[in-house]
Structures are given as C-alpha cells and as structure tokens.
Amino acid sequence: MTVTSPATPAPTVVAQGTQPAARASSSIAARLRAWRSTAWTLLALTGAIATPNARAQDFAQGLEDPRILSLTGLGGRYSGLVGAGVGLSPLTPNFGVRLGDFVLQPRFLLESDYRTNFFRQDSRNGAAVGALALHLRPGLAVFNPQYDAVALSFSSDFDVFMPLGEESVSSRSNVGAQAQVAAAFLPKRPVSFTLYDRFERQIWMRPLLDRNANRNQNVVGADLSFHPGGRALDFTVGYAFDMLRYDELGILDTDTHRMRFLGSWRFFPQTYAFVEGTYDAVTYRKPLTASEQGSTGNYEPGTPLKVYGGLSGHVTERLAVLLRAGYGNSMLDSGTDQYESVLTQLQLSWRFNAESVLHVGYARDFQLSPFGGYFGFDRGYAEYSHRLTTWLQLNADFSVDARAYGLWQPAAFESNGQAYQPSTLDTTRDELALRGGVSLDMNFMRLFGLTLGYRLDALVSDFVIVTDASVNYVGYADHRIFASLNLRY
C-alpha cells in the first residue's frame, strides 16, 4: 500500500504595525512568531507527511482504467483506505466521446464543504476555526480501451480551492492538481515495457505558519515485465525517480530512487501467489547544519528495504483474501536508531451479493520521516460499499493508525539573530491517526450526479515541543461535510 500525504496550504502570520510605546511587546511577539513557526514546521508538518492516502485507481502501470465515474473514484478523501469498488471496471467505457481508437472523457466536479477545524489546530493551543470552501474540479481522461500493441492513458484533474471567510482563511486560495500519463508497449505479449509519469500538487492546512506547506511531487518511472506460461507467471522489474518539492519549506525536499521487483503466479483464475521487494535511496536536498549533524533524527537519509511474500485472490466465490508478510529495515545512514521488524497485511473481503461488499484489514509497515528518522505503524481498517439501486451507492469506512516514531533530538536554530534550542517533553513520540466517513453517490442520469458525504480526520497526540517555556501540541480533530455536483461526458 502506497503511503503518501494529502496537503493544503498553511496560513501566513502577518506582522502588525506598532506604536513606539508597544515596540518592546512587538519584539517579544516577533520572537514568539519565530519559534512558533519553526516549532510547527518541525512537528505539525510531520503529521502532514505521515498521513496515509490510498488511491482508488492505481494509474502507474498504464493498464488500469483511468475513468472517474463518481467521487468514490477519487481516493482516500472519499472512499477510505481500501479504494475498492463493487467489481472490475468494464472494458467498454460508460462515458466519453469516441475519437477513433481513443475515448475522451471530460468531467467537472463542483464541490462545497464545511470544515470545523480549517487549520487543524490543537484545541490546547487555540480555538478551532470553522470555514466554508468551494472546489472547482475540472478533469479530463484520454485512453484507448481496445488497445493491442500500445496502451496509452492520460488523466488530469485540477482543484481550484477557494475558502470563504475572514482574511486568514480566504487568503489560503490555491490550486491543486493531479496529472498522469503512461504508455505500455506490447501489453498483451510475453514481454512488455511501460513508461509512466505522475505529478501531484497537494494543498495542506495546519496551524498558523509564516510559510505555506504546499508540496509538489513528480514520479517518473519504467517497468519491464515478462509473462511466460500463457501469462500465468508474471515478473516485473522497475525503477522510479520520486522528486518532492515544497513551495516554501525547502528543508523537507527529498529525492528518491526506487527499485522494485514483483513476481506472481496465477494458480487459479482469480488467485495469485506473489513475492515483492522494494529498495529506496532517499536523500534530503537541504545541507545539514552543525547542530543538526550533532542531534538525533534530523533529515536522516536512508535506503529502506521491504521484502514481502503473499497470496491475493478469491478463496470462495464470496470471500477474497490479501495476505502478505515480510521484512522491513529503515537502514538510515546514521545507524543510531533503526526500524527493523516483520511487515504484514491481512485483508478479508466478503461479498454479500452483487451489490454489497465489506473489506476488513490490518497492516504493519513503516516509512521514513524527516524528524525521528522513521515511523512505524499498525493499522486497522474497514470499508463497506453497497449499491442501493442502479443510481445510488453508499460507502462507509474507518481506519486507525497506531504510530511510533524513532528517536528525535530537536536541533538548535537561529531566527532574526536570536538562537533557540527547542526541546521535547517526551523521548518518544506515539500517537493515533483516525480517519473515517460516509458518502452517498447519486447518479441520476448519464451526465449528472450528486455526492453527499462526511469525513473525519484526527490526530490523537500528546507529543509537544517546548521553546522559551511555551508548549505546542500537535493533535487535532477536523470534521468535514461536503456536497458535490458531478458532471461528466
């Protein structure tokens, strides 16, 4: 399961003009803003990076159907961690305009939502700010469903984000985007080759910072696949370059070279045994300061290794299982504190009937973190989808992550000529991340649909950072109610 993070912009702290009599208090306020900004950069953004985001449709290999028929196809923000629907997508598109061998599918989603905690503020640090926002989401997909020698796919979606309210909220207007393109050569032959590129601009909200946390990620890669034995066997080796760039928080920029191997044996028509391995080389572009080099867990490069074996497919007509187990090691360059553990995932899917399916799962995994070096997590999740009628579908999901970070000693920093030495009250950071929600998709006709939904995003954490005897908490709870008008052709 790919772990990524959703992101939205952080608000700007605007310095106010002062009278001569207030200069002393203004100086103190400026110092407070300096350490508060750095504290949130170090801690609050770690929460952003750690947020999992599953995609409903994995586009990387170029052979998946890129259609988005409703909001449930947009990934973890709507349909939870599993991202599974009621079955395989048909080869014949339900929507789109035929252009020779290609299908063109324009779409437009007009969404409004209300968030009870717009900046994801910990209530112990200040009152939550509720806000109403509009999203304009134009999109386009182009692909050739009846491919032979070459399978081509392109998809792009934008999110024009327009929050409404006071200046601190409305000034967060921005544009997010996703664009994906892939070309699979000879996909039906014993040997095939795939080139792909994925770009995503994410917008992230967190408590008041003087720099935004918007980030841009581009992954470009290639896969070489072998399909001997009438495609019962499949072996794929791949390489990808993952470039992560923040608009203003360059201290978190990373470059990742990723190698992957996947071998599978389809011993029943819908059941596979597989082995998989990934090896990454992760580096931070920011040179370390002397203080960061002398502290533990700051921007540590590493070469994380994960190796799995498992089984995926139907046990009975109604019951499907995904089982994988293996080994993971963070292999950080410092070597002082490493994540090394058994990795596993067990997911059971039960289809009550043709319209109803339940997924329940548990996963144990890890990923690198700029602060602490890594975090490991144990995740429990469940998702239920039910097609009530031909035009109405219900989706509900919930997940909880128990996370444990590596050792972290905050490094000293300097701001406006003043030296600061942050500290933490705890030597370890353990927390719970909760996500859940429900959505109702209504497809009234071929061109028009409506989605109503609710989402919960919460971080339960008592981990704090202390600067100048002030305590900053990182937990939050955000409730979101949304409605979307969905137009597609």
pLDDT, mean of residues 382-406: 89
Domains of the chain, first to last:
20-488 (2.40.160)
pTM of the predicted structure, to 2 decimals: 0.80
What's the angle, vertex CA 80, arms to CA 78 and CA 86, rounded to 5?
90
Using a 10 angstrom Cβ sphere, with 0-12 exposed, 13-18 middle and 19 or more buried, the burial of residue 107 is buried
DSSP string, 262-304: EEEEEEETTEEEEEEEEEEEEEESSPPPHHHHHSSSBS--B--
* Cα distances (Å, whole numbers) of residue 25 to 29, 31, 453: 6, 10, 46
**pLDDT reported for residue 91:** 44
Q: What is the mean pLDDT of residues 483-487?
A: 85
- Lowest mean pLDDT segment, chosen from 186-190, 320-324, 444-448: 444-448
pLDDT of residue 211: 67
Band (357; pLDDT cuts 50, 70, 90)? confident
**pLDDT value of residue 49:** 44
**Per-residue pLDDT at 28:** 43
How would you write 223-257 as a 3-class SS string? EEEECCCCCCEEEEEEEEEEEEEECCCHHHCEEEE
Q: Give the whole-angstrom CA distance, residue 375 versus residue 369.
A: 6
> In this predicted model, what pLDDT tens digit does every residue of 178-194 receive, in sequence order?
888 888 898 888 898 99
Residue-wise pLDDT tens digits, 244-254: 999 888 888 99
User: What is the arithmetic mean of pLDDT over 111-115?
Assistant: 92
Residue pair 158/37 in contact (Cβ under 8 Å)? The answer is no
More confident residue, 451 or 280: 280
In this predicted structure, the answer to whether residue 75 has a pLDDT above a threshold of 50 is no
pLDDT over 90 at 481, yes or no: yes
User: Could you tell me which residues are beta bridge partners of residue 60?
Assistant: none
Asked if the model's pLDDT at residue 25 lies above 60, the reply is no
Residue 427 pLDDT > 60: yes
Q: How confident is the model at residue 433 (pLDDT cuts 50, 70, 90)?
A: very high
How far is residue 410's CA from residue 143's CA, in Å, rounded to a whole number? 49
